[in-house]
Amino acid sequence: MTRTLFILLTLVLSANAATGARAASDHDHGDHDTHDTEHADDGRVEIDADMAQQSGVTTALAEGGQIERLAQVYGTLATLPDRRAVLQARFPGVVTSVQATTGDRVQQGDTLAVIESSDSLRSYRVRAPIDGVVQTRSVSPGAVVSDAPLFTLVDDRQLWAELKLFPRQRGAVRAGQTVHLRINDQTAEGRIAHITPGSAETPYVIARVALDNPDRRFAPGDLVSADIVVEHAVVPLRVDNRALQTLDGQTGVFIQDGNQYEWHPLELGRRDARYSEVLDGLHGGAQYVVGNSYLIKADLEKAGAAHEH
Amino acid sequence: MIDAIVRLSIERRYLMLSLILLLIGAGLWSYQRLPIDAVPDITNVQVQINTEAPGYSPLEAEQRITFPVETALYGLPGLEYTRSLSRYGLSQVTVVFEEGTDLYFARNLINERLAAIASALPPGLSPQMGPIATGLGEIFVYTVDAAPDSTQPNGEPWDAIALREVQDWIIKPQLAQVRGVVEINTIGGYDKQYHVTPDPQRLLQFGVTMEQVSEALRRNNSNQGAGYIERNGQQLLVRSPGQLASLVDIENVVIRQLAGTPVRVGDVADVAIGRELRTGAATRDGHEAVLGTAMMLVGENARTVARALADRLNDIKSSLPPGVEVETVYDRTTLVDKTIATVQKNLLEGALLVIAVLFLLLGNFRAALITAAVIPLAMMATLFGMVKTGVSANLMSLGALDFGLIVDGAVIIVENCIRRLSQAQHQGTLPLRERLQCVFEATTEVIRPSLFGVAIITVVYIPIFSLTGVEGKMFHPMAATVVMALLAAMLLSLTLVPAAVATFMTGTVSEKESPVIRAGKSVYRPLLEWALRLRHAVVAAALVLVLACGWLLSTLGSEFIPQLDEGDIALHAMRIPGTGLEQSVAMQALLEQRIKAFPEVDKVFAKIGTPEVATDPMPPNVADNFVILKPRSEWPDPSRLKADLVAEMEAALEKLPGNNYEFTQPIQMRFNELISGVRADLGIKVFGDDLEQLVATANDILAVLQDVEGAAGARVEQVTGLPMLSVIPRRLALARYGLTVDALQTLVATSIGGEQAGLIYEGDRRFELVVRLPEDLRRDIDRLAFLPVPLPDGGYVPLEEVAELDIRPAPAQISRENGKRRVVVTANVRGRDLGGFVEEVKARIGQDVTVPSGYWLDYGGTFEQLQSASQRLAIVVPVTLAVIIGLLVMAFGSFRDALIIFTGVPLALTGGVLALWLRDMPLSISAGVGFIALSGVAVLNGLVMVSFIRDLWHQTGDLRHAVIEGALVRLRPVLMTALVASLGFVPMALNTGTGAEVQRPLATVVIGGIISSTLLTLVVLPVLYHWWHGKNRQTQTP
């Protein structure tokens, strides 16, 4: 009977041992993980120069430079108030002749029309008060005019970009700041002349930028997109934004040292579209990874990369 | 009854023989219909429900799709469990049914439930069930690629969009019609889209919103039928075509009138062919490509379907535009053919060896042929049975077939017949009647033991049927096939064999005692007599041998199932969560170039992220690489081991930065993806609502777990890690501007993700018309803050005025099981027993971890399966042994004899253990199956031997004489059955072809075991019999 028992035992044992093999394969898996975790703990990875070059890893020298922080706003072009004239007849009368018509460019002092006064029956001239273009003309010879506008003159050699500043943007914008304007795919530059409050109904204030328009590329009413340089500083140390990665909730860069790449968490200050100011965590002259910095992060953290279904 | 059958078979022998034709016919018919594949299908009964939700983040996908779908499935009949994952743009619910549930029935049930919840889901989203395929379904993969320097008809080089168009509209529709194909799944390239990209500045200028652009496109892009009119007896159909057909058409759509002038789409937006926001990409040999995967319908014949696909693909080549190349990169046929070739070779060589042995030992060619004829006939019957029971032909099901084992019954009968015939013929040729009578007597003399023997071999396979899960699916076909073959052989030896002997063994039956047997007998007799004298020593030696092998067994390494070498390599390349698709593609290029540099590699291709039909929804940071190796003859060193190559590849790839790898094989990978349970020893699942709380609790558990002795590689499943940019509405500010949250969200969604505004038709081909921001603006997060949000009464406000922008990590994927969120903590166990470990962990967690109310734990993992398997086997194995003893007792009416025969089992096992140890093989389930087969053979041998000795003893009354003479008479059949059974397995044990690694342990065990069992049956069994019965008689007759 004991023999039977023994056989039974052997069989159950062999079955157990066989099923236990599944565990063995998983142990290997576990090994692998711990190995990689150690690898990642010191925040340092090694990549061959060849490999780095093939993967598009590039570096740059950490140095000082400009930081230009921009705010993007929209607005429209408008004529300057003193560059626009609406002409009316001084005395009601009959228009005897009209010298200028819509679109004509006139000089200050040019005669635009002659009107014979109904009272005195004497003729007088209507002269252009400013240089400009005849935008509208609403008289023809023979018409009797009283106080209706005769001509509108506009001088568009200089325009205003009226930019709308919404509350969140307002704080950083000051008069005198440089503005990069983009109008119909053309660019121009200017400075904020002044900021005026909007009306009670509008949530925004208006910043005006004078814009020279000698060749009349722009027209009043054009939509302007503007980048206001709200902050311009020369900082002792800045890094390229493409270099920044986040690791464990901290932002930083990878410093290259031969084939070694080391993680440096940074304290960052101001930033613009391309660069960020470095307050702490990096010294000038370090080679930091710019191109494909994600790859270094990926290599550092790859222990966590698993395929979970 | 048995006598009646045998008598009938002999009397109606010609009828019996004509039945052969019927059997052959059935066999051939079955062969045509038998599904053939490389390995058994181990996928469970599951249905995937995929819902594509473009733009949905994991949280939204879970809340609005996954949850309603899961809830709808509650209470389905046969439902085992559901699991789900919610990811960017995708909700996938996997429904697993109990084994044996009809897949079509299950799909029907799900369909019904899904129809009911259609209204509860967000509009425009519809859940789709995955293809009706299993883990073996991906049988054929091809790439669509451009020849170098080739150009499209319009002069531009072929790009990923154009190639995808060729795949979607030329190749796929043709391949999808191949019989047995359920789905052609595409990954890679970009779906062609018509992109309308409004410039925010121009929108402001013309006072137009994105919404108006989409609206205008929607209203100006349809054909309409207008009935018909009859004119002069003729019917005239009326229609008004208004579909947009070209980029210019789109540009000219009018959005509104501004001061009398129309504002056209072209005024505010650029219109161009663009790329979809894709979720998956494919690469080949280091560059992007388009990949098509053909999935086979459940139950189809992989080889046939793959062949048909290859043929069709060849035909398609002629219809492709010049410059486009299509190439098959993975074809299951190759593997199936190789595997089947291995099996065929083994079976054929085995059969030939068996015939040779029969001839050699029987010394009668005709008798040998009759016995050998049982082999193909049993095979035909088995094929028929396989088709009827739905077992597919593969490495496992055909792998354990040993023709030696199958013909054992026939061998015993034929041997006895010719022995009796030749004895009877001493007086000259027998008349017919006497000859038939002689055959009948000879058959019935041994039929009972041999029937019992076969019955017992069948019974020992029962424990295999008790295996469940993956092991069950692997080995049930094997056991089923063997049992079917044995039953067929048993039937044949009852009917056909006696009939054939009676018919063909006419004339002088020359039974030449072959020299082998003569030599054997001359050695055997003195050996037996010597053993009977030294019985104590012999029994003691046997006992020592058994104990020693028991110890040896415990020192053997173990592996679960020897893995079938598929010939190709698959590897997961994993990057950190949050890695973008383009970054992944760039990293993939380096990886593939490195792999391609190996001289053994023919092609390498990869799938990154999720394909069109989300059968395997991977995030963009994971790539499935397939490395197709060249034929061995083209390797620099053809004898190089694959493991060696894999090791070198792993070492080389380890140098590439940023990737983690997991090496596997194509089919194996697919199985893992589909089965996908917890793969560690212990998995503690934390269920609950709040993800953060789940992670916190999981981390508490992890801390406890790491303290427990024996825990190795404990870790918490990674949940977060996908950085997410949230645009959080500021409600007060929105109110001030008269905006609604919805308006804001729609704007953000349209701007970044794009909004579908209709379809553009080009013949059958249809492409989406999408409105979204220009690419440079979409990608510029800094500028997103300034995006103008149009106000209801005209004017605008910058986005940052009405919303907060916030980037922080968020869940990359939300996993749920049985309708609840879960986070898994896994650990493996080293150096202590699993059961004790789990108990301690449970106790410690109960003590140290406070699980908040509403949260609960579930312990799972392989320990569960191990426990249940051990428990089941602990019941089934003893029961099986009891059944065997019961059968033996039935056969002999003596418990003692039954036990004596039973001693053959441990003695047989010793040889198996020694053989494993000698060949340095680990213990595996395959080897276990070998041991099982072995027990059967051992019992069969003992049975025949003991029954003869007993009969002789009863006839003569002299125990010692009976033992010696009986044993001598049975020497030939015992040697024969042993030799055929072991030689039948020799090709299998030595083969190195594809698939041999699964069969080798089995064959090794059986060969080793049979050698030991035969020797011991011949020596120890008679000794034991003599000892026990002799002692007993003395005590009975003092």
Chain-centre distance for alpha carbon B102: 18
Answer for the pair B416, B443: CB distance below 8 angstroms, yes or no.
yes
Tens of pLDDT, residue by residue over A198-228, are: 777 778 889 999 888 888 888 888 888 899 9
pLDDT at A7: 42
pLDDT at A34: 37
CB of A309 less than 8 A from some CB of B: yes
CA distance B744 to chain A (A): 17
Mean pLDDT of chain A: 80
Is there a contact between B586 and A55 if contact means CB atoms under 8 Å apart? yes
Answer for the pair B910, B982: CB distance below 8 angstroms, yes or no.
no
Interface test with A, best of B558, B662, B905 (most A CBs within 10 A): B558
Answer for the pair B293, B105: CB distance below 8 angstroms, yes or no.
no
Is there a contact between A203 and B906 if contact means CB atoms under 8 Å apart? no
Chain-centre distance for alpha carbon B815: 24
DSSP B644-692: HHHHHHHHHHHTSTT-EEEEE-HHHHHHHHHH----SSEEEEEEES-HH
- Compute the C-alpha angle A294/A295/A298, nearest 5°: 85
Length reported for chain A: 309
**Residue ranges in chain B modelled with pLDDT below 70:** 400, 427-429, 507-513, 557-563, 676-679, 720-721, 865-866, 993-995, 1031-1038
The residue whose two tokens read 């062969």 is B31
Answer for the pair B822, B701: CB distance below 8 angstroms, yes or no.
no
Q: For strand B79-87 and strand B814-817, is the pairing parallel, antiparallel, or unpaired?
A: antiparallel
Phi, psi torsion values for B969, nearest 5 degrees = -65, -40
Supply the pTM of this predicted model: 0.81
Q: Which residues of B touch A18 (CB under 8 A)?
A: 558, 560, 923-925, 927-928
In chain B, residues 61-80 whose CB comes closer than 8 Å to chain A: none
Q: Which residues of B touch A29 (CB under 8 A)?
A: 679-680, 713, 828
Q: For strand B765-771 and strand B192-198, is the pairing parallel, antiparallel, or unpaired?
A: parallel
Is there a contact between A73 and B786 if contact means CB atoms under 8 Å apart? yes
Q: Which residues of B touch A223 (CB under 8 A)?
A: 201-202, 204-205
Q: Which residues of B touch A26 (CB under 8 A)?
A: 679-681, 828, 862
Is there a contact between A23 and B556 if contact means CB atoms under 8 Å apart? no
Distance CA B476, CA B12 (A): 37
Cβ atoms within 10 Å of B712's Cβ, excluding its own:
18
CB of B559 less than 8 A from some CB of A: yes
In chain B, residues 686-725 whose CB comes closer than 8 Å to chain A: 712-713, 715, 717-718, 721, 723
> B395: Cβ–Cβ under 8 A, 6 or more apart, which residues?
B38, B39, B339, B342, B343, B564, B995, B998, B999
Tokens of A75: 């607005």
CA nearest B206: which of B243, B156, B261? B261
Q: Which residues of B touch A163 (CB under 8 A)?
A: none
Facing residue for B201 by CB, picked from A27, A225, A246: A225
pLDDT at A309: 47
Facing residue for A15 by CB, picked from B561, B721, B928: B928
Chain-centre distance for alpha carbon B469: 12
Tokens of B489: 């052989």
Question: Closest chain B residue to A24 measured between Cα atoms?
Answer: B559
Facing residue for A294 by CB, picked from B561, B583, B927: B583
CB of B905 less than 8 A from some CB of A: yes
Tens of pLDDT, residue by residue over B34-61, are: 888 878 888 888 899 999 888 888 888 9
Distance CA A183, CA A248 (A): 43
Per-residue CA distances from A266 to A189, A249, A274, B432, B984 (Å)? 34, 11, 16, 105, 72
Tokens of B311: 């043929």
- SS3 of A123-161: the string is EEEEECCCCEEEEEECCCCCCEECCCEEEEEECCCEEEE
Facing residue for B736 by CB, picked from A71, A203, A223: A203
Distance CA A165, CA A179 (A): 13
The residue whose two tokens read 């663009």 is B274
The stretches of B763-848 forming alpha helices (DSSP H) are 775-779, 781-784, 799-802, 834-848
Q: Which residues of B touch A173 (CB under 8 A)?
A: none
DSSP-derived letter for residue B422 is H
Tokens of B374: 């049982």
pLDDT at B558: 63
CB of A5 less than 8 A from some CB of B: no
- SS3 of B334-359: the string is HHHHHHHHHHHHHHHHHHHHHHHHHH
Question: Closest chain A residue to B884 measured between Cα atoms?
Answer: A4
CB of A248 less than 8 A from some CB of B: no
The residue whose two tokens read 């991906």 is B138
Answer for the pair B90, B614: CB distance below 8 angstroms, yes or no.
yes
Tokens of A242: 């493409």
| Strand partners for B588 | none
CB of A200 less than 8 A from some CB of B: no
In chain B, residues 202-261 whose CB comes closer than 8 Å to chain A: 202, 204-205
pLDDT at B753: 86
Is there a contact between A19 and B560 if contact means CB atoms under 8 Å apart? yes
pLDDT at A33: 39
Distance CA B291, CA B543 (A): 62
DSSP A88-103: E-SS-EEEEEE---TT
Tokens of B484: 């079917």
Percent of chain A beyond pLDDT 90?
3
CB of A21 less than 8 A from some CB of B: yes
Per-residue CA distances from B500 to B359, B440, B452, B586, B739 (Å)? 17, 12, 22, 71, 95
pLDDT at B168: 92
Distance CA A160, CA A79 (A): 6
pLDDT at A307: 54
Interface test with B, best of A22, A186, A228 (most B CBs within 10 A): A22
Is there a contact between B85 and A18 if contact means CB atoms under 8 Å apart? no
Is there a contact between A33 and B715 if contact means CB atoms under 8 Å apart? yes
Which strands form A132-137's sheet, in the order they lie side by side? A84-88, A149-154, A132-137, A105-106
Is there a contact between B866 and A19 if contact means CB atoms under 8 Å apart? yes
Helices and strands, number each (H, E), in chain A: 4, 22
The stretches of B245-400 forming alpha helices (DSSP H) are 247-251, 265-268, 302-317, 332-362, 365-389, 395-399
CA distance B928 to chain A (A): 7
In chain B, residues 585-604 whose CB comes closer than 8 Å to chain A: 586-587, 590
Phi, psi torsion values for B652, nearest 5 degrees = -70, -40
pLDDT at A135: 87
Helix (H, G, I), strand (E, B) or coil at B991: coil
Is there a contact between A21 and B673 if contact means CB atoms under 8 Å apart? no
| Strand partners for B183 | B295
Q: Which residues of B touch A55 (CB under 8 A)?
A: 586-587, 590, 657
Length reported for chain B: 1038
CA nearest B929: which of B403, B463, B489, B392? B463
- What ranges make up the beta strands (E) of B764-908? 765-771, 788-790, 796-798, 803-811, 814-817, 820-829, 856-860
Q: Which residues of A touch B942 (CB under 8 A)?
A: none
pLDDT at B166: 92
CB of B928 less than 8 A from some CB of A: yes
Is there a contact between A306 and B718 if contact means CB atoms under 8 Å apart? yes
pLDDT at A16: 41
Four-point Cα dihedral B1027, B1028, B1031, B1035, nearest 10: -170
CA nearest B523: which of B949, B971, B1025? B971
CA distance A94 to chain B (A): 33
Interface test with A, best of B575, B588, B814 (most A CBs within 10 A): B575
Q: Which residues of B touch A11 (CB under 8 A)?
A: 463, 873, 877, 881, 931
pLDDT at B1032: 59
Burial class, B364, CB count within 10 angstroms (exposed 0-12 / middle 13-18 / buried 19+)? buried
pLDDT at A25: 37
